Amino acid sequence: MKKIGKLILRFLVTFSLLIYLSTKIDFHKLSAIIYKTNFILLFFASLLYILSSYLSTLRWKLFIPLASDFRVKPLFSVYMIGCFFNMFLPGIMGGDVVKILLIKKNMGLKEAIASVFIERYIGFFALLLLGNIFFIAFFESIPNDEKIYLIPLSFLIFILVTILLFFIRSIPFFREIKQYLTNFHKKIFLQAFLYSILIQLTVMISVYLVSLSLRTYIPFHEIVIFLPLIIILSTLPISLSGIGVREWSFIFFFGPTIGNENAIAISFLWFFSVLVASLYGGIEYLRFKDLFNMHYKK
């Protein structure tokens, strides 16, 4: 019953946000903007998402013990299945649970959770770091508004939470993750970090292509600065697949400079490009009769 209650609550949040957003946009103007979409650029945005997912798979594999003998190709299928389920589960991290369930038989539940957690964690660190580097480098050219200080604030909170988690010893989950990570050399973490920088830049370029597909110009440095917060807010499990939260975030950060209609059009088409790319994960899901008994070593 609790799960049903949470699902209903998230549906209500999603519905309420969409109703609120409908009061902020001109639908005739929005439809005119979407009508002129360059679908070739949108297609390449989808390809970039698949590329970022493949790179994410390589990053994830770094934290999977060699004894598990996972190969890149089937692991990539698992990753894309997770992306597919992200389209329908609360927030954008529901697919992580699916990935954990798919690999736990081959490496153990605790190890599966730890590998997914650290892979996602390093990704968030790289995302926020990039945003803050560009925030400092382009400070003079970004819109002078109080909300821009959310960028360094979010990074500061992330660092403080990291320090807090590092010193927590009373919670078994974090203690076991720290123990699991001691099995990996420092070079592995550096390699994962470099992968993460490349992954996040690929995602940001895909959003930039989406904006160009609508003939709407957003300076690339502004995408790098504001997209981390948009992604993090969309990750929160308060709506269905981040719908409503993501669109509100695009309007909040980009609406004042490009207009609400352009901002929500970019958000919608970015989600659409990700959905199209994630269909590969749906195909991979259908390939297996028993979702939790896949043979990854083939």
| pLDDT for the residue numbered 295 | 46
> How far apart (Å, rounded) are the C-alpha atoms in residues 25 and 252?
13
The CB-side HSE value for 162 (13 A sphere, CA atoms) comes to 12
- b vs e for 150-162, b when ≥16 Cβ sit within 10 Å of the residue's Cβ? bbeebbeebeeee
> How far apart (Å, rounded) are the C-alpha atoms in residues 183 and 161?
23
| pLDDT for the residue numbered 294 | 47
> How far apart (Å, rounded) are the C-alpha atoms in residues 289 and 285?
8
| pLDDT for the residue numbered 289 | 46
- Spatial CA neighbour of 123 closest among 178, 66, 58, 71: 58
| pLDDT for the residue numbered 169 | 64
Q: Is residue 225 within 8 Å of 208, Cβ to Cβ?
A: no
Q: Which two tokens stand for residue 78?
A: 């698992």
What is the four-CA torsion angle of 167, 170, 173, 177, rounded to 10 degrees? 40
Rg (CA), the chain: 20
Residue 213 CB neighbour total at 10 angstroms: 24
What is the DSSP annotation of 106-159? HH-HHHHHHHHHHHHHHHHHHHHHHHHHHHHHTGGGS---GGGGHHHHHHHHHH
Q: Which two tokens stand for residue 182?
A: 């001691």
pTM for the structure as a whole = 0.88
Question: pLDDT tens per residue, the chain (298 residues)?
Answer: 566 666 677 778 787 888 888 888 888 898 999 989 999 999 999 999 999 999 999 999 999 876 566 788 888 999 999 999 888 766 556 788 888 888 887 778 888 888 898 999 999 999 999 999 999 999 888 877 888 889 999 999 999 988 887 777 667 777 777 788 777 888 999 999 999 999 999 999 999 999 999 999 899 999 999 999 999 888 877 777 778 889 999 999 999 889 999 999 999 999 999 999 999 998 888 876 454 454 444 4
Domain ranges of the chain: 2-287
